[in-house]
Amino acid sequence: MHTVHGTFVISRGLIQIEPATGKASGEIVVDAKSGESGNESRDKKMHREVLESDKFTQIVFRPERMDGKLLRDAPSTVRLQGVFLLHGQEHEMDAPVEARFDGERWTGTTHFSVPYIQWGLKNPSNFILKVKPEVEVEIKLVGVVQKRAE
């Protein structure tokens, strides 16, 4: 048994947060076809049989609410809640986010599990290879803080 690491490319993203209310909006869009693990045959199977990335070309997160307080001068831990669109189906998502500001730039990291079998994706296990029913996801983001025009 071993752990497989891979990457996906974020096509675009914008998150807007109202600090006073916690209301969040925007979306982060991932190119489903960009997923790669470093093993061409495994990646082909993942795209063809599990993600069906020719049909479901995007993976999207749309934030709706942030719980917690973003601090400008220290690391912050908040929870970002919203809708995760995967394989054509929407799922509620609640993810912890570690955020840090450096002037007008910010970085954020989150880690969560996706129960892909429960969410309707094919189990890639076979009689030799057994995989867990969920995949661990870590996302690292970097952005620029912009004040909204009023």
Instruction: Report pLDDT digits (tens) over 17-68.
Output: 888 899 999 999 999 999 999 999 989 999 999 999 999 999 999 999 999 9
Q: Tell me which CATH homologous superfamily contains domain 7-144.
A: Lipid/polyisoprenoid-binding, YceI-like (2.40.128.110)
**Which of 14, 61, 62, 9 lies closest to 31, judged by CA?**
9
pLDDT tier at 119, thresholds 50, 70, 90: very high
Averaged pLDDT for residues 80-100: 95
pTM value?
A: 0.88
pLDDT of residue 90: 97
Residue spans of beta strands (DSSP E) within 50-146: 58-67, 76-86, 89-102, 105-114, 135-144
Averaged pLDDT for residues 108-137: 87
CB atoms within 10 A of CB 131: 15
Domain residue spans of the chain = 7-144
Helix boundaries (H) for the chain: 40-45
pLDDT tier at 127, thresholds 50, 70, 90: confident
Q: How far apart are CA 145 and CA 104, in angstroms?
A: 5
Any idea what DSSP says for residue 44? H
